């Protein structure tokens, strides 16, 4: 299910149609508020909410181009909101939700997926973990970071203004913008989640000062967590991209001070007994 995706423009939809038979999928569903003016499949555009259900080719053979398949969409009764009754009914036909939800709605969207007990792979931002509505979700390990994080390039519409940084146009004139701290969120277990960090640093009070207001030490880079320290360590939220639940437990999210100066938000972690 791609429940934030225009079936005529979404590259998620495009990807899964092209790999439908390869992945052994049974059904692909996409819903959106309305179709926009970027149309990958047909010349028929819609100004109302639509949905698409794709069940593969008639002969079951893989396709190599979107020109080889005809995609049609139906009108929804409502506005296409992922929370609407008809969109939820379509989502309940699916096993996995994969999409790029509006980041402004992440604090509602992620709990929505968990409430409906859906497996998911969705794009997010590492700083979403600092939202009060989402912090408990990650601390309780109902959700974790996926394989890839960092700076992602995204295609953007032609009306986007050029920027001096994190912007480019390719040879076809397509505009791109780059977003930092992008990542995948998922509740599907992955092998990377069980890969332990290799620790090599030794603890010294000079390198790892204590916080003024918490009984924990500051570690500005997750790669420098001291191997010989068994107490509580404060690390940046980017640590989540390498968190191994068998190696560390996550205690809480804080905004600490050192020498009276406020630091960025930190995750408090503690090494688990071997």
Q: What is the pLDDT of residues 26-75, one digit of tens each?
A: 999 999 886 544 444 443 444 678 899 999 887 777 787 887 787 788 88
In the chain, the DSSP E strands lie at 28-32, 50-54, 74-75, 96-99, 119-125, 144-156, 167-169, 175-186, 217-218, 232-235, 248-254, 257-258, 261-262, 266-271
Mean pLDDT, range 89-96, rounded to an integer: 96
Query: Where do the domains of the chain lie?
Result: 11-146+182-188, 196-271
Q: Which residues neighbour 127 within 8 Å (Cβ) at sequence distance 6 or greater?
A: 181, 237
> What is the per-residue pLDDT for 47?
62
Burial 106-142 (b: 16+ CB within 10 A, else e): beebbbbbeeeebebbbbbbbebbbeeebbebbbeee
User: Residues 117-145: pLDDT tens digits?
Assistant: 999 999 999 999 999 999 999 999 999 99
- On average, the pLDDT of the chain sits at 89
Q: In the 8-state DSSP scheme, what is residue 109? A: H
> What is the per-residue pLDDT for 154?
85
Who wins on pLDDT, 57 or 266?
Answer: 266
> What is the per-residue pLDDT for 255?
94
267 pLDDT higher than 90: yes
pLDDT over 90, % of the chain = 68
Please tell me the number of Cα atoms within 13 Å of 101 on its side-chain side: 26
User: Residues 153-177: pLDDT tens digits?
Assistant: 888 888 888 888 999 999 999 999 9
4 pLDDT higher than 50: yes
184 pLDDT higher than 90: yes
> What is the per-residue pLDDT for 251?
96
Q: Judge residue 64's burial from the number of C-beta atoms within 10 Å of its C-beta, 0-12 exposed, 13-18 middle, 19 or more buried.
A: exposed
Q: In the 8-state DSSP scheme, what is residue 226? A: B
> What is the per-residue pLDDT for 7?
87
CB 221 within 8 A of CB 117: no
Q: Among candidates 137, 151, 213, which has minimal Cα distance to 182? A: 151
Give the Cα separation of 272 and 138 in Å (integer): 18
What tokens appear for 78 in the block?
A: 């409502």
CB 51 within 8 A of CB 100: no
């Amino acid at each position: 299910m791609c429940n934030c995706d225009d079936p005529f423009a979404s590259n998620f939809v495009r990807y899964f149609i092209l790999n439908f038979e390869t992945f052994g999928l049974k059904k692909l569903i996409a819903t959106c508020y309305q179709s926009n003016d970027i149309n990958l499949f047909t010349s028929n555009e819609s100004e109302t909410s639509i949905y698409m259900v794709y069940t593969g080719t008639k002969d079951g053979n893989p396709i190599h181009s979107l020109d080889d398949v005809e995609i049609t969409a139906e009108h929804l009764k409502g506005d296409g909101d992922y929370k609407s009754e008809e969109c939820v009914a379509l989502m309940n036909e699916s096993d996995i939700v994969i999409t790029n939800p509006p980041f402004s709605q992440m604090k509602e969207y992620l709990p929505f997926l968990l409430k409906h007990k859906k497996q998911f792979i969705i794009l997010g931002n590492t700083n979403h973990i600092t939202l009060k509505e989402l912090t408990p979700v990650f601390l309780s390990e109902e959700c974790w970071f996926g394989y890839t994080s960092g700076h992602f390039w995204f295609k953007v519409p032609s009306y986007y203004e050029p920027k001096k940084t994190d912007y480019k146009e390719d040879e076809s004139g397509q505009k791109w913008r780059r977003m930092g701290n992008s990542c995948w969120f998922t509740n599907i277990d992955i092998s990377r989640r069980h890969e332990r960090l290799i620790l090599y640093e030794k603890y010294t009070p000079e390198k790892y000062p204590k916080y003024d207001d918490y009984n924990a030490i500051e570690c500005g880079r997750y790669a420098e967590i001291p191997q010989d320290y068994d107490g509580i360590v404060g690390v940046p939220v980017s640590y989540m991209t390498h968190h191994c639940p068998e190696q560390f437990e996550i205690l809480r999210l804080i905004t600490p001070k050192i020498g009276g100066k406020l630091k960025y938000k930190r995750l408090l972690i503690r090494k688990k007994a071997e």
